A and B are shown apart, each in its own frame.
Chain A
Amino acid sequence: MSKGISLIGVVIVALLSLIIAEFVILQTSIVDSSEIIRAAKETAIAEDINNLEFLKRAQKYTLNYSFYGSYYFLGKRGGYLNFVNVKSYDCTPYWQFYDEKKYPSFSEITNNLKEASQRIFYNYLDNFRTEEIAVPFHEIIIKNMPSSESQAFPSYFDVDVRARVNLRFESKYVKIEDKGDFSGKVDAGLLNEYIRAKNFIESHDFKQIVIDAIKEANLKNVCSLTASQIPSDEAVFSSSDCNGKSFSEARNLIETKIREKLASLGIGDVITTSEITPTCSYTKSDSQYTKNCNFNFDAGYNALIKIVSDLRYPLENEIKNFEFKFRVLVGTKSFPSLELVNSCQEKL
């Protein structure tokens, strides 16, 4: 009996000891685990904060690159963001199409700059958008943008970037919000180049270049030739008494003169054309025909004008000079072969 009691006693003591030990171990383990889980959450939070920090770090560079990008984009498009009612060829607008000069006004340029930089900024930050990171839409405010071109231009734009809502990071453990607003200074390159481009087109009479080239070619426009058969128009023109040149040689001469004049202005990308139009009559005396001709000379060109800035920005795959481009089409008459127009598909 006492043997049985002692065995039950041992079992009870053992079980009690076990329960106490288990309680202590479990308690420690639970406390430990909750601490560990808390630490794990903290680590995950720190990681999430870092992710948001990466985004915030990128914003400053994004602002600069957005402005440089907008200068590049608008510059190569003659200041236009869209070509609505604007003739263009390969995404370069005509600032002069025969006698019509048309280019963006100063207020159009400043509005286009704001719009383009904002769109590019958005495109940049869109890359950071994930399931966890909500990137808000930002408004770019240029605080010292001159309201007219008569005002002095700043070297740098003071820019405020205002987020419509906060930057937000939301993950399993954490929801972090931070202000997306920030300020920065950006090189104000576009405005000066626009003024240079505008002054360039206003200070040159591009049609006069054609008129002067024809004049300098020094070609006779009234000629006559007598022959036993009716002479051709070209024979009259190329006779030794007249120009001593074929039509094509004469046209070549005129077009070379145009190219030389444009080259002296730094314009090299040019398409030229010319025409010689004879108006002739002939008389017959004995067996000789005398042909009298009046020659009219016409010429024109389509030129791509690049105003190259001294300012250099990181763009595409190099640091390069920023350019302002536009086209000029002029002629003493209209030349369909020069009227190169196509639609531009390039968009921001």
Chain B
Amino acid sequence: MKGFSSFLALIMVTFLMVIIILLPALATTVHIRRMINFETKQNNAQLALLALLSAQENKKPVYQIISEYIAFSNKPDISFLKNKLDNLIESKCYKLYYFEGAQEKILAKSSCTPKQYKAEAGIVLPFGSKLYEKIYLVVD
């Protein structure tokens, strides 16, 4: 009986030790894996934004079209952005926007609302009172 209880105590101590040793390592691994996954997706959002800004539409750089859209009172047509982003973003869940004061101005968005991965880029504007604006791409 005494031998059995010692054996039981041994198993419990061993089990606890295993938990104590393994748990932090597992927790760290899970955390880092999540972080990597986030960073990779975030990076993909950045690459999608970079690819979009490097593209052309009717021989005119998309960069310039977005820049003029932000600056001009008579806005150019940017409906093509949706098609381009549909091709670039696998999840098809995205939102491209900038801020005018505190107000969010949408350049293109999908039917679903993305929340997770956000990339940003500085865009130079035609010479005027404001020379620069940040645009954001959020994807899922």
Contact = CB atoms under 8 A, between A and B. Distances in A.
Interface in A69-90: 69, 72-73
Nearest to A57: B53
B43 A26 contact: no
B7 A316 contact: no
Given A26-B25, A40-B36, A123 B50 contact: no
A25 B21 contact: yes
Of B17, B67, B122, B124, the most chain A CB neighbours within 10 A belong to B124
B50 A26 contact: no
B6 interface: yes
Contact of A36 (B22, B36, B42, B124): B36
Interface in A42-98: 43-44, 46-47, 50, 53-55, 57-58, 61-62, 65-66, 68-69, 72-73
B21 A65 contact: no
A128 interface: yes
Contacts of B6: 7
Contacts of A25: 21-22, 25
B56 interface: no
A124 B126 CA distance: 10
B46 A47 contact: yes
A316 B129 contact: yes
A303 interface: no
Contacts of A73: 127
Contacts of A61: 61, 63-64, 67, 124
Interface stretch (A10-18, A235-243, A261-269, A273-281): A10-18
Given A54-B50, A57-B54, A124 B131 contact: yes
Chain A, interface SS category: helix
A29 B6 CA distance: 32
Interface stretch (B68-76, B80-88, B89-97): B68-76
B33 interface: yes
How many of chain B's residues touch chain A, expressed as a range?
35 or more
Contacts of B127: 65-66, 68-69, 72-73, 120, 315-316
B40 interface: yes
B125 interface: yes
Contact of B28 (A14, A33, A66, A127): A33
Interface of A: 3, 7, 10-11, 14-15, 18, 21-22, 25-26, 29, 32-33, 36-37, 39-40, 43-44, 46-47, 50, 53-55, 57-58, 61-62, 65-66, 68-69, 72-73, 120, 123-124, 127-128, 313-319
Given A26-B21, A127-B131, A317-B72, 14 more contacts: A25-B22, A33-B29, A36-B36, A47-B42, A50-B46, A57-B50, A57-B54, A65-B126, A65-B127, A124-B124, A124-B131, A314-B71, A315-B128, A316-B128
7 contacts: A29-B25, A47-B42, A50-B46, A61-B67, A65-B125, A65-B127, A316-B127
